[in-house]
A and B are shown apart, each in its own frame.
Chain A
């Protein structure tokens, strides 16, 4: 569909032989990248493959050590971010750069305010609002220029960011993990917008870990690995497994290495658990040796349920039984004494104490065991921490390394080790592999297998359906705070699951559908 031979479609961006060295690291070595107008070019690779470095070079944050950049066929040097903007290169980062207490229009024109009647210090709010309105209509964005950004939801904020990028007349748009905080429906809106942009001839560089989604929207994909250009290929003709194997370098035998474990006795029984307006009448049970999944969109309440049971947030009605006995859980501390551990999705915000060492993080929930007469015994503590770090194969220079410096996968392992260390029997994972590399994901899955083999029960709330279907025994679908279906993970089709999490009404009609049922 992308006619490269067509003369009207000259390359708008070409990066040639880009090399970038950091002290001790060759971040990029001789990387090529090109972009056509109206094309969505995926940039994929594991963390540390060099994606962000390449993007930062293009947007003027870093300067390359070697290599040339051509925009519209002309050789350019991009020394500073504003030079990138002048060349029509606009970046939308994962973290929103919007100011919540300003209006949409004020945000869109921030730093480029229009002056009234040539009086340089007064801002002409009226014409800013009008120009913003025109822009929003073009993009079919359902927000008003005068709305405050703090009142928008995540998706709307993301779209406003895009509006801002476009208001600078961007020819090249860089989107870094644009869907990581969006629900499926919001992703559809985003993709509609991307398609509009393509029609307007904007070239888009799209970075995402979510290959299933990226495949829907992408035209070509460039794979980076260890700072090297591995391949550039047409997305439609490439399977996801092939892409992954290019990213990882060696062929992963299985993305989901599920091992079946014999189901043991019931360890957790939840009855009529409610917390209006977030969830109602949740009833289910969890057995020893099984992995149960909770599927649902953002806002379905799936993560709220597990946060309630594990004492992170309260609930208003219902009962919890552990090993057949009623349990009273009103804080994480209570949950831990009952053997329940909650492993949060956002490990940097809620999981690890980043500025503490691996060892101290691992023993944090079980410090009492290494005390005698109220005084800590550091030798004993370090010994135990070492043992668990080895068991989970946490990759670290030393047990005293700050958790901050570990990769996402290893941070997750540190938190699993902490839960193991305080003898948890029930593990609640919220998005267990969010933000974790493909290779490290498989390691986490192996750990899940290991947990249930040793008699634990695992509950996973995830928005990645393939993950749930690949790793769970049973899956509950949640919709609007209620359980809308229970499925055997081996038998259920992705379509059935999707119907349940969309409340059986509106099913993905748009472009998404075929990609979800690959």
Chain B
């Protein structure tokens, strides 16, 4: 009898931990913990200017994480984000010097979309692994950026360009407003359009989606294109913030965006995950990074901590979607 009760308690405990980690409950908990620890230790955490700082960090990560969510929902991923951001930064600022700020920005976003479209088309048409295609694209785009600039940064941009990265609309930094708009648009796409439904269907079961009459190849190409567009947008915003074209922009982008998406509960196996989750995932990551900064943690150690968080997130993902 005693043995039985013991078994039951351990069973309940196991279930509880499992629910804690697999349900959405664990993310808000993590956020709360971070905020409390940092605020207790450092006075400049809970200040208005730091809040704006966090929101700026949040916005940039949000753009690439929302983009990354689309390929991941289709059981793929986009490793080329960083390289594409480098190429976009260089090409858009060069265009800006020739044709002006607005055409330069628009061109930058479109170039990002083009890279994404090429990724998606290769993956869909030849049915090759997204890992290989986007890994190749990462190197290609980075190489292109470095070749054009010979490894140098591009300076001398119009002052008006810095508006995107540094100004405010009311109390909100411009990037935060942009990220909010992107969240809204992406929500509509995912939950209120056929494209969004088809992404979930294709990610959930590609063959069944095809048999249901969905043009799976087109959906794939479009998903990667959307990811590329957002990488382009992110690159333009960051370039504006540093007011220069940087061929080495966004080196850590894919790792961080994948981390935010996975922490947000989007399954790496495809077909499952909510934008709400990605939102929380982005908050968690930007809070962690901000806290580590404020706590003056060595930046190399920061890299190691982030890496561990990311791997932990993937382990949790395993738990969550493990078939029992």
Contact = CB atoms under 8 A, between A and B. Distances in A.
Interface of A: 312, 331-333, 335-337, 342, 344, 349-356, 360, 364-365, 367-368, 371, 374-376, 378, 418, 422
B8 to A, nearest CB: 11
A353 B214 contact: no
Shortest Cβ-Cβ A-B pairs, 10 listed: A336-B213, A353-B204, A333-B213, A364-B212, A365-B212, A367-B194, A350-B207, A376-B192, A353-B205, A365-B213
Interface in B195-218: 197-198, 200-201, 204-205, 207-215
Contacts of A352: 205, 208
Contact of A374 (B193, B197, B198, B204): B193
A334 to B, nearest CB: 9
Nearest to A65: B4
B271 interface: yes
Contacts of A374: 193-194
Contact of B201 (A349, A364, A371): A364
Nearest to A344: B211
Contacts of B194: 367-368, 371, 374, 376
Contacts of B205: 349-350, 352-354
Interface string B142-179: 00000000000000000000000000000000000000
B214 A333 contact: yes
A355 B192 CA distance: 18
A487 B215 CA distance: 38
A457 to B, nearest CB: 19
Nearest to B323: A404
Interface in B207-233: 207-215
Contacts of A375: 188, 192-193
12 contacts: A332-B210, A344-B208, A349-B205, A353-B200, A355-B272, A356-B200, A360-B197, A360-B201, A364-B201, A367-B194, A376-B192, A376-B193
Contacts of B198: 367
Interface of B: 188, 191-194, 197-198, 200-201, 204-205, 207-215, 271-272
B209 A353 contact: yes
B193 to A, nearest CB: 6
Given A333-B213, A344-B211, A364 B197 contact: yes
Contacts of A360: 197, 200-201
Nearest to A378: B192
A375 B192 CA distance: 5
B211 A312 contact: yes
Nearest to A374: B193
Given A353-B204, A353-B209, 4 more contacts: A353-B200, A364-B212, A365-B212, A375-B193
B188 A356 contact: no
Contacts of B212: 332, 336, 364-365, 418
Contacts of A335: 213
A422 B211 contact: no
B201 A356 contact: yes
Nearest to B195: A374
A305 B97 CA distance: 61
Nearest to A375: B192
A355 B204 CA distance: 7
A344 B193 CA distance: 27
B161 to A, nearest CB: 33
A333 B208 contact: no
Nearest to A310: B211
B197 A376 contact: yes
Contact of A342 (B191, B204, B211): B211
Nearest to A371: B194
B269 to A, nearest CB: 9
Given A365-B212, A367-B197, A354 B204 contact: yes
Contacts of A376: 191-194, 197
B171 to A, nearest CB: 32
A422 B197 CA distance: 16
A16 B11 CA distance: 27
Tell which of B191, B198, B207, B215 has the most Cβ of chain A within 10 Å: B207
A95 B188 CA distance: 41
Contacts of A350: 205, 207-208, 211
Contacts of B191: 376
Contacts of A333: 213-215
B271 A353 contact: yes
B6 to A, nearest CB: 15
Tell which of A312, A351, A352, A364 has the most Cβ of chain B within 10 Å: A364
Contacts of A312: 210-211
A360 B271 CA distance: 13
Contacts of A367: 194, 197-198
Contacts of A353: 200-201, 204-205, 208-209, 271
Nearest to A347: B208
A332 B211 contact: yes
Contacts of B204: 353-356
A422 B193 CA distance: 18
Contact of B211 (A351, A355, A368): A351
Contacts of A418: 212
Nearest to B196: A376
A391 to B, nearest CB: 19
Given A356-B204, A376-B192, A376-B193, A364 B214 contact: yes
A161 B192 CA distance: 49
Contacts of B272: 355
A367 B205 CA distance: 17
A349 B207 contact: yes
Contacts of B214: 333, 364
A333 B198 CA distance: 13
A360 B209 CA distance: 12
Nearest to B200: A356
Contacts of A349: 205, 207-208
A312 B207 CA distance: 9
A368 B214 CA distance: 11
B131 to A, nearest CB: 21
B221 to A, nearest CB: 15
Contacts of A336: 212-213
Contacts of A332: 210-213
A355 B213 contact: no
